[in-house]
Structure 1
Amino acid sequence: MFKFASCDGCQLTLLDCEDELLAIAAELDIAHFTEASSDAAPGPYDLALVEGSVSTPEHLDRIRRIRAESRHLVTIGACATAGGIQALRNYADVEEYLATVYAHPEYIATLATSTPISAHVRVDFELRGCPIDRGQLVEVITAFLAGRKPGIPNHSVCFACKRRGTVCVTVAHGTPCLGPVTHAGCGALCPTYGRGCYGCFGPAATTNLPALIPLLHRDGMSSEDTDRFLHTYNVTAFTAVESQEPVATREEGTQ
């Protein structure tokens, strides 16, 4: 387990898997996990789990070394898969931020952008979430132990709401919700408690933002509010989706 620019939440998810890890502990050795132990064995590694975004010059060299030492590399969490909340700086003046926040910005070594791991090295699998779901994490580890593809669904949060029998907060209450365009994995936690989805798990494969944005406006969100709604946990991922051309529908043949 390797950490880059992040809050450590996804690493803590692994530590929360106490009961589940007992079942597979005999099949693996944790060689490097400084959140849990100061012991660190050198590579090569069969499976590297990487949390956090690339945000400093040192990160660039380090992630390349980890990739070279790892048979499989899996990124976990919004920071590692999409740059994280810190990627908001990609759309601002980093030098201005440094001068505002730090008394001596000359001591800070940083990149102008915060980027996902996949922007720099080959990644074998991406596990979404802020933080990730522990059940999905155990599934990924088990899949690589068994030499198979992880069984992580790529549908939207709306599917999870239907499975739980949760009433749609948008249809029933006019609550703005990113569930229709967000990757499932949280168990539809926010809609279950009457709140709209915040997009913690990033865009789903079926993302259709051009269709959702008018609904957000209908439910009282201004254009500025909509931008803030989308540009949080997975700012770069949703921005990439927004930049795509609208897709013609089969039924109507319109955009």
Structure 2
Amino acid sequence: MPPKLAVWKFASCDGCQLSLLDCEDELLTLAGEVEISHFLEASSMIAPGPYDVSLVEGSISTPADAERIRHIRRVSRRLVTIGACATAGGIQALRNYADTEEYRSVVYAKPEYVATLAGSTPISAHVPVDFELRGCPIDRSQLLEVISAYLAGRRPGIPDHPVCFECKMRGTVCVMVAHGTPCLGPVTHTGCGAICPAYGRGCYGCFGPATRPNLGSLKTWLGSIGMSRPDVDRAFATFNVAAFEEQPDDPP
């Protein structure tokens, strides 16, 4: 029997699942090597578990979500979270720093019918995760590497250095040094190919914090080029707001 692959969605925009569909030719090859047992973005066919590899997109934001992810963990040999929502709570984690009950009472006519948790949290806050694939959205070549690695029984070969390394490798002039452009590249996990700096824009931190990011140093530098502290905080409050908030300003 071929290995079983399942893809699951929680609170998210579906962009990371679409990254898998965008693999096109590679996906056809993958489909010949595995049984895609659960992937509602692509097919209504559902095969029962257990599953060899489960890819999980989205954050946990309701009690039902919390129960469902525990079930998925029980029936999955390997569980891989994909994207900023699943690995860090996503941009919807901005609600973690506000009054969710107030929002619910203002937005919904019958708030008592809306079951929600106080915050939006990553999958790892609820169940053990075998691997986290960062990005908003994820990089499809990295996704294929993760799937191939687990099907082959090895650890995925995903680099964890900052985006600055990618700028150096592609010969991109540093937008911070050359132009004084605010950029989160020094503290952001690699994976995007340094697309934004290649077009003269600063990194927005789509792939979340790199390993041991020196946030304090970067925040000081951003302040030195004229950014106010609220503007600096706002720069980090996007796709991976909760992940950056959890990092100390100065690594140990």
Relative to the length of structure 2, the TM-score reads 0.95
From 64, 72, 75, the equivalent of 1:69 is: 75
Provide the C-alpha distance between the structure 2 equivalents of 1:57 and 1:155, rounded to a whole number of angstroms. Answer: 35
Q: CA shift at 1:22, angstroms?
A: 2.5
Q: CA shift at 1:202, angstroms?
A: 0.4
Provide the C-alpha distance between the structure 2 equivalents of 1:134 and 1:245, rounded to a whole number of angstroms. Answer: 32
Q: CA shift at 1:107, angstroms?
A: 1.6
| Post-superposition CA distance 1:1-59 (Å, at most 9, x none) | 00000000000000001111223322101000001111111110000000000000000
Q: CA shift at 1:142, angstroms?
A: 0.5
Q: CA shift at 1:246, angstroms?
A: 4.6
What SS does the corresponding residue of 1:126 show, helix, strand or coil?
Answer: strand
What SS does the corresponding residue of 2:69 show, helix, strand or coil?
Answer: helix
Q: Report sequence identity in percent.
A: 72
Q: Which amino acid aligns with 1:122?
A: P
**Unaligned segments of structure 2, at least 5 residues:** 1-6
| Post-superposition CA distance 1:161-196 (Å, at most 9, x none) | 001111100000000000000000000011111110
Instruction: Tell me the matched-pair count.
Output: 246
- Between 19-28 and 74-83, report the one with greater CA deviation: 19-28
What SS does the corresponding residue of 2:70 show, helix, strand or coil?
Answer: helix
Find the counterpart in structure 2 of residue 219 from structure 1. 225
Q: CA shift at 1:206, angstroms?
A: 3.9
Aligned residues of 1:6 and 1:52 also touching (Cα < 8 A): yes
What SS does the corresponding residue of 2:169 show, helix, strand or coil?
Answer: helix
What SS does the corresponding residue of 2:117 show, helix, strand or coil?
Answer: coil
Provide the C-alpha distance between the structure 2 equivalents of 1:100 and 1:150, rounded to a whole number of angstroms. Answer: 45
Note closer, same or farther for the CA distance 1:185–1:25 as it changes in structure 2 (3 Å cut).
same
Note closer, same or farther for the CA distance 1:148–1:246 as it changes in structure 2 (3 Å cut).
closer
Q: CA shift at 1:245, angstroms?
A: 5.1
From 37, 47, 58, the equivalent of 2:53 is: 47
From 163, 173, 182, the equivalent of 2:179 is: 173
Q: Which amino acid aligns with 1:149?
A: R
Find the counterpart in structure 1 of residue 3 from structure 2. none
What SS does the corresponding residue of 1:154 show, helix, strand or coil?
Answer: coil
Provide the C-alpha distance between the structure 2 equivalents of 1:126 and 1:135, rounded to a whole number of angstroms. Answer: 15
Find the counterpart in structure 1 of residue 36 from structure 2. 30
From 126, 132, 147, the equivalent of 2:153 is: 147
Provide the C-alpha distance between the structure 1 equivalents of 2:234 and 2:160, rounded to a whole number of angstroms. Answer: 24
**Unaligned segments of structure 1, at least 5 residues:** 248-255
- Between 93-102 and 149-158, report the one with greater CA deviation: 93-102
Aligned residues of 2:217 and 2:250 also touching (Cα < 8 A): no
Note closer, same or farther for the CA distance 1:245–1:168 as it changes in structure 2 (3 Å cut).
closer
Aligned residues of 2:145 and 2:156 also touching (Cα < 8 A): yes
Matched, 1:195 2:192: no
Aligned residues of 1:155 and 1:206 also touching (Cα < 8 A): no
What SS does the corresponding residue of 1:79 show, helix, strand or coil?
Answer: helix
What SS does the corresponding residue of 2:54 show, helix, strand or coil?
Answer: strand
Provide the C-alpha distance between the structure 2 equivalents of 1:200 and 1:246, rounded to a whole number of angstroms. Answer: 20
